[in-house]
Structure 1
Amino acid sequence: MSGRYIDENVKRRLYAESMGYCMNPNCRCNLFAGTGDIIEKAHIDPYCKTADNSFENLVLLCPNCHTNFDKNNAFTPQEILSWKKTRQEELKNFFEKKFTTFEELEAAVVPLLMENKTIYENYYKKNNKKLWDKFEPVILINNRKLKLLLKTNLNLIQKQQEEWYSNLASIHLFMAHIEEFEATRGDDEKNREILFPVEINSIFGVVPVEESLIPSTECLELLIKKLKEQEKFVAIEMGVEHPCILMVENNKTVQVFLDDAPRLRQIYYNYKCFKKTNVRLESLNFALKYIRNKKVPFKFINDENLREISINHIKMIFVYEYCLGQVKLMEMLPKEDTVIVNLHNWNGESCISRQAYERAEKMNVKLLTMDAFYEYVQEIK
Structure 2
Amino acid sequence: MARKAIPEYIQRRLYAESMGRCMNPACGKDLLLTNGDIVEKAHIIPHCDSADNSFENLILLCPNCHTNFDKNSAFTEEEVRIWKRERQQQVSQLFSQKFDTFEKLEELVKPLLTENKTIYESYYLNDKRKLWEKFEEKILINNQKLRFLLSKNRDLFQKHHDEYFSNLAIIDQLILHIDEFRDTRKDDEKIRTVLFPEEVNSIFGLESSLEGMLPSVESLECLICKLQNEDKFVGITLGIEDPFLIYKEHDEYVQLFLSDAPRIRQMYFSYHCLKSVGIRLGSLNFALKYLDNNHIAFKIENCQNLSNVTVKEKSFKFIYEYCLSKAELISLAPKKGLIIVNLHNWNGGSCISNEAYEQAKIMGVTLLTMDDFYVYIQNLK
Classify the TM-score, shorter chain: over 0.9
**How much has 1:251 moved relative to structure 2?**
4.3
Q: For the residues of structure 1 that align with 2:60 and 2:239, how far apart are their CA atoms?
A: 56
Aligned counterpart, 2:51: 51
Aligned partner of residue 87 in structure 1, secondary structure? helix
Distance change (3 Å), C-alpha of 1:305 and 1:229? same
Aligned counterpart, 1:134: 134
Contact 1:32 1:38 (8 Å CA) reproduced: yes
**How much has 1:256 moved relative to structure 2?**
1.4
**How much has 1:72 moved relative to structure 2?**
2.9
**How much has 1:36 moved relative to structure 2?**
3.7
Q: For the residues of structure 1 that align with 2:371 and 2:288, how far apart are their CA atoms?
A: 14
Q: For the residues of structure 2 that align with 1:32 and 1:293, how far apart are their CA atoms?
A: 56
Residue type at the aligned position of 1:223: L
Q: Which structure 2 residues correspond to residues 195-344 of structure 1 after superposition, within 5 A?
A: 195-344=195-344
Aligned partner of residue 42 in structure 1, secondary structure? strand
Q: For the residues of structure 2 that align with 1:167 and 1:284, how far apart are their CA atoms?
A: 26
Name stretches of at least 5 consecutive residues in structure 2 with no aligned partner. none
Q: For the residues of structure 1 that align with 2:224 and 2:168, how far apart are their CA atoms?
A: 24
Aligned partner of residue 195 in structure 1, secondary structure? coil
Aligned partner of residue 220 in structure 2, secondary structure? helix
Q: For the residues of structure 2 that align with 1:61 and 1:172, how far apart are their CA atoms?
A: 32
Q: For the residues of structure 2 that align with 1:325 and 1:35, how far apart are their CA atoms?
A: 74
Aligned partner of residue 310 in structure 2, secondary structure? strand
Tell me the TM-score normalised to structure 2 length: 0.96
Report runs of 4+ in structure 1 exceeding 6 Å deviation. Answer: none
Q: Deviations over 1:78-121 (max 9, x none)?
A: 22211111111110110011111111100010111011101111
Q: For the residues of structure 2 that align with 1:35 and 1:364, how far apart are their CA atoms?
A: 78
Residue type at the aligned position of 2:17: E
The CA RMSD over aligned residues, in Å, is 1.5
**How much has 1:273 moved relative to structure 2?**
0.7
Q: For the residues of structure 1 that align with 2:306 and 2:171, how far apart are their CA atoms?
A: 32
Contact 2:301 2:308 (8 Å CA) reproduced: yes
Aligned partner of residue 239 in structure 1, secondary structure? coil
Contact 1:291 1:297 (8 Å CA) reproduced: yes
Aligned partner of residue 236 in structure 2, secondary structure? strand
Aligned partner of residue 277 in structure 2, secondary structure? coil
Alignment partner of 1:351 is 2:366: no
Aligned counterpart, 2:12: 12
Q: For the residues of structure 1 that align with 2:184 and 2:159, how far apart are their CA atoms?
A: 31
Contact 1:103 1:250 (8 Å CA) reproduced: no
Q: For the residues of structure 1 that align with 2:126 and 2:26, how far apart are their CA atoms?
A: 38
Q: Deviations over 1:235-271 (max 9, x none)?
A: 1111111111212334433221111111111111111
Q: Which structure 2 residues correspond to residues 89-100 of structure 1 after superposition, within 5 A?
A: 89-100=89-100
Q: Deviations over 1:103-154 (max 9, x none)?
A: 1100010111011101111111111110111111111111111111011111
Residue type at the aligned position of 2:73: N
Aligned counterpart, 1:173: 173
Contact 1:244 1:257 (8 Å CA) reproduced: yes
Q: For the residues of structure 2 that align with 1:93 and 1:179, how far apart are their CA atoms?
A: 19
Contact 1:322 1:351 (8 Å CA) reproduced: yes
Distance change (3 Å), C-alpha of 1:159 and 1:35? farther
Q: Deviations over 1:8-32 (max 9, x none)?
A: 2211110110011111112211111
Aligned partner of residue 86 in structure 1, secondary structure? helix
Aligned counterpart, 1:110: 110
Contact 1:247 1:255 (8 Å CA) reproduced: yes
Q: For the residues of structure 2 that align with 1:306 and 1:2, how far apart are their CA atoms?
A: 73
Tell me the TM-score normalised to structure 1 length: 0.96
Q: For the residues of structure 1 that align with 2:4 and 2:73, how far apart are their CA atoms?
A: 22
How many residue pairs match? The answer is 381
Name stretches of at least 5 consecutive residues in structure 1 with no aligned partner. none
Q: For the residues of structure 2 that align with 1:91 and 1:283, how far apart are their CA atoms?
A: 49
Q: For the residues of structure 2 that align with 1:187 and 1:131, how far apart are their CA atoms?
A: 16
Residue type at the aligned position of 1:189: E
Q: For the residues of structure 2 that align with 1:346 and 1:15, how far apart are their CA atoms?
A: 58
